[in-house]
Structure formats: C-alpha cells, structure tokens
Amino acid sequence: MRRKFVAGNWKMNTDTAKARDLASQVVAGLAANPAWADKVQVAVCPPFPYLAVAAEAIKGSKVGLGAQNCHHEASGAFTGEVSPAMLKDSGCHYVILGHSERRHKMGETDAQINHKTKAALQHGLTVILCVGETLAERQEQRTLAVLKEQFHHGCHGLSREQMSNVVLAYEPVWAIGTGHNATPEQAQEAHAFLRGRASEEFGPEVASKLQILYGGSLVPDNAPQLLAQPDVDGGLIGGASLDAGRFLKIIEAGAR
Ligand code: 13P
C-alpha cells in the first residue's frame, strides 16, 4: 500500500515570523492527531531563507522539510544558486523540481530538470518531480503526450533504485492558483497514465510503489474527492498550505 503524502509548497511567501508560526502550527496539529501522522506523510517547503527557521520549528516532529528548487552542481561559482548538498545540510529531505512556475516563468527545460533530479538524488534528497500540461495543450488533446514526454525526460537515466526516491506531482498548469481544480476523474486519468508510463519505463514494482501527488487548487473542500482516487497518493498544496488550519484539513482528508 502506498502511503498518502501531503506537502505544502509555500512558493515565494512568508517571512521569518510567519514561517516559524506556520511550521509550528502544522507540527502542533499533527501532534494533536497522531492517527493522521500515521497515515499521511507531511512536508513543508518554505523559501530558501526560511529553511533554517522551519527546520528548527519541525525538529523532532513527523513533519519533513523540503526546498523548492536547487542547482545541479555541488558547489562553485554559480552566483545566486543553491546546491543539493546545501539543502541536505539545511535539514531538507525533499526538493521540488520542475514546478510549472519554473518551467514556464523561468524557462527551465526537461534536460535541466533531469540534471537537477540526478544531482538531488545523488545527494540523498527525495525529489518531488512536477509534470503537467497547459490549458492550450489540454484543449489540443495533448495532455497525455505532454505527461509522457515530461516524465520520460525528467526521469531519464535513473535507476529503479533511484526511482524509489522520486515522488511525482501532477500539476495541470491551468489549475494552479486559479481556483479551477482538475476534476477527480481528470486527476485519476492523468495519474493512472503516469503510473502506466512508470511501469513501462521502470517496471511494475517501481510503478506500484510510486507516490503520485495532485497539485492545482487543492483545498479542504475538494480534497476528500481528489484524494479518494485510487492513483492519487496525496497533494502538493500551494495557496491552502499558507494557512495551517486549511493545510491540516487536507491532511485529515488524506488520512481517511
Ligand atoms: P495552488 O494550490 O495554489 O493552486 O498551487 C499548487 C501548486 O503549484 C503547488 O506546487
């Protein structure tokens, strides 16, 4: 059985005090509901400057820490970049890679994302690899073709063993921050397709263990239906993760 996983992507939000409070409230919410923590793996992904603050707040708890990006080199003359080794050293267990905002706003390519994925895995991080189609691609009936390409290129050259440290996140670009979530049927179709691709490329055992999260306007109201889909193994939450109460409600839905 795959465990559910709910991760909060804080994006470029919070400040020192808010990061500390938010992480502490998530820790307190889980401590008050131990059954949720047994069933659902939980992580928060603050901006780089607040990783240390959040790391301190979650110390000794069941909440994991993730970053939102990294560079592929371990160190060196890369002004403004942060390496996988630095993330490990800062207490991170996870790193989000290939988020659509990085693909579409920063121009990241599948090749760069693959490079980063390999580097992050080599440094012992678990990668939350995001894939997802734009609205135009969906309207042109290209959703599955886009997912196939992004998955293939993103995971190219990884071993089966490395795939056990990869979590996929299906995030349709048109659903992110728009209030228009994918329907449970749309999410299930995409997730089942991605699991099929994983089986094709890495074998059925890898595919059956692969956690595939849904992201895109996932909120407490729609979480029960989305998280009940057989191939939806959790959520990558943007807006609703900035409010501990809403984030915890999504975790509760995942624990059902
Ligand atoms: P929203 O939940 O704000 O739509 O963001 C989803 C997302 O991009 C998570 O990575």
Q: Is 218 in the pocket of ligand 1 (CB under 6 A)?
A: yes
Q: Which protein residue's CA is at the shortest distance from atom 7 of ligand 1?
A: 238
- Read off the pTM: 0.98
pLDDT tens digits, one per residue of 186-210: 999 999 999 999 999 999 999 999 9
Largest CA-CA distance found in the chain, in angstroms, rounded: 48
Testing ligand 1's pocket by substitution, the residue of 5, 6, 10, 11 carrying the most ligand atoms inside 8 A of its CB is 11
pLDDT tier at 1, thresholds 50, 70, 90:
confident
Ligand 1 atom with the shortest distance to the CA of 177: 4
Distance of CA 2 to the CA centre of its chain: 15
pLDDT tens digits, one per residue of 38-68: 999 999 999 999 999 999 999 999 999 999 9
Annotated catalytic sites, by residue? 99, 171
pLDDT tens digits, one per residue of 108-153: 999 999 999 999 999 999 999 999 999 999 999 999 999 999 999 9
Q: Is 84 in the pocket of ligand 1 (CB under 6 A)?
A: no
Nearest to 97 by CA among 228, 232, 236: 236
How high is the mean pLDDT of the chain? 98
Ligand 1 atom with the shortest distance to the CA of 175: 4
Domain ranges of the chain: 4-254
Q: Is 217 in the pocket of ligand 1 (CB under 6 A)?
A: yes
What is the signed CA dihedral for 151, 86, 125, 231, rounded to 10 degrees? Answer: -50
CB 84 within 8 A of CB 125: yes
Ligand 1 atom with the shortest distance to the CA of 96: 10
**Interval 232-244 mean pLDDT:** 98
pLDDT tens digits, one per residue of 243-255: 999 999 999 999 9
pLDDT at 12 over 90: yes
CB 182 within 8 A of CB 144: no
Per-residue buried b or exposed e for 48-87, using 16+ beta carbons within 10 Å of the residue's own CB: eebbebbbebbeebbbbbbbbbbbbeeeeeeeeebbbbbb
pLDDT tens digits, one per residue of 151-165: 999 999 999 999 999
Asked if the 4-254 domain carries CATH number 3.20.20.70, the reply is: yes
pLDDT at 222 over 90: yes
